[in-house]
Amino acid sequence: MLLTGLCSISFRKLTPAELAVLAAKAGIDGIEWGGDVHVPHGNVAVARAVRTLTVDAGLRISSYGSYYRAGESEKEGLSFADVLKTAKTLEAPCIRVWCGNKGSADADAEYRDAVCRDLDRIGELAGTEGVTVACEYHGHTLTDTLESAQTMFGALNNPNVFPYWQPPGGKTIEACIGELRTWLPTLANLHVFFWRDIGGKRERCPLIQGAELWQPTIQLAATTGRTHWALLEFFLNDSPDQFLQDAAVLRDWTKAANAARAGTGSPPVHKPGGASCASR
């Protein structure tokens, strides 16, 4: 089953209360709260208050976007113990982390090993509290390519660490969907946005313009039989109104995909094209 959500970091200038009102207005299911602004690491009072206002708005908490970097953050003063304590207070079932701060082309075997050791460690710590750890699929980390991410996950010894997925930049729609298919057995959640490379520059676009990519992607993710969050982020002009429009589109797509999975309907038809997608 697919649930719809918002990454709070998309609107860092809004307060948690304002974000909860906006998300409820959008008719989505929940919010991934970020640890850099809205729910700071170690601040259990804020986490408790944000948990309450989220539930009071009729929303769920999908995850805690911690921005903890495996292999790096402990050295820089961010303790995973504080991250986990905050996530537990927030009652977030999943903690999103980044896999180091080096891209795969710049990471030697020693660096990879350090990142994997830390992922194993934090995966075990989180697991004892009933929380999962998920790695963002992101540039300039060890998940910046499919091959690097597969190598990294293959080296882990802890089964409590899972992948997020978002479309990698510069690839065809077919290639993007192929990568998602690879991750289906262990997929956690999706980060949903649509950017295009226009004149050598990445530009944010309304989600509806990404139908050729996202409709089949959503349909595919719904086939696992598990629950995944499709989490919206990065809107044209950072506009709350654009978020409301994108949320309506995503709700339609996830509703159709869930119905098709349940055998109660058919997904909407899209026409394949040759477009490529841009990532961040």
Query: Could you read off the pLDDT of 115-136 as tens digits, one per residue?
Result: 999 999 999 999 999 999 999 9
Residue 235: other Cβ atoms inside 10 A? 24
Burial of 272 (C-beta count, 10 Å sphere; 0-12/13-18/19+): exposed
**What integer is the mean pLDDT of 45-56?**
98
Q: What is the pLDDT of residues 144-164, one digit of tens each?
A: 999 999 999 999 999 999 999
Rounded to 5 degrees, φ, ψ at 36 are -90, -30
- What is the structure's pLDDT at 266? 46
- Non-local (6+) Cβ contacts of 229 within 8 A are 2, 3, 4, 5, 29, 30, 32, 62, 63, 189, 190
Are the CB atoms for 206 and 239 separated by under 8 Å?
Answer: no
Residue percentage of the chain with pLDDT more than 90: 89
Determine the Cα–Cα distance for residues 278 and 255; give it in Å rounded to an integer: 25
Q: What is the pLDDT of residues 216-241, one digit of tens each?
A: 999 999 999 999 999 999 999 999 99
**DSSP of 223-264:** GGSS-EEEEE---GGG-HHHHHHHHHHHHHHHHHHHHHHHTS
Identify the domain containing residue 147 by its residue range: 2-277
pLDDT above 90 for 274: no
Are the CB atoms for 75 and 16 separated by under 8 Å?
Answer: no
How many domains is the chain built from? 1
Rounded to 5 degrees, φ, ψ at 236 are -55, 125
CATH number, domain at 149? 3.20.20.150
- What is the structure's pLDDT at 270? 36
Strands (DSSP E) contained in 70-152 are 94-98, 132-135
Q: State the angle between helix axes of 173-183 and 146-155 in degrees (0 to 180), rounded to the nearest 10.
A: 10
Q: Which residue has the tokens 């690839």?
A: 171
3-state secondary structure of 30: strand
